[in-house]
Amino acid sequence: MKTYFDRLWELIPRGRENALPMKDLATILNISERAVRILVQKAREHGEPICSEWDGSGGYFYPADMQEARDYIRKQRARIKSARAALRGVEKYLQFFAVDDIVE
């Protein structure tokens, strides 16, 4: 019997242009979109190079080549940088009120 991980690996296509939307994966696997996100995250944690593209129709895909992998890394690093900047503002806010229990 195939696990959700096995089925996920078979379903996710190669190449950004073939990206499969989360909604479609949820329908095919008969699970919620939240469950798909969790499943993809766990697969990534186990080393699966699953990329995601949310511009336009978007969805999940395996990189078709090294350039797609590099593009995904670049976009993710930009998102991380933006998230860090957002955190800095809130951290400064807490420091203003001398709160010592900032979560790291």
> Which CA distances in Å does 46 have to 40, 41, 42, 65, 85?
10, 9, 6, 20, 28
| Distance of alpha carbon 13 from alpha carbon 68, whole angstroms | 13
**Position 103 confidence tier, pLDDT thresholds 50, 70, 90:** low
Tokens 């807490």 belong to: 94
Structural domains for the chain:
1-64 (1.10.10.10), 66-104 (no CATH)
pLDDT > 60? residue 102: no
pLDDT: which is higher, 9 or 99: 9
pLDDT, averaged across the chain? 88
Tell me the pLDDT tens digit for each residue of 22-43.
999 999 999 999 999 999 999 9
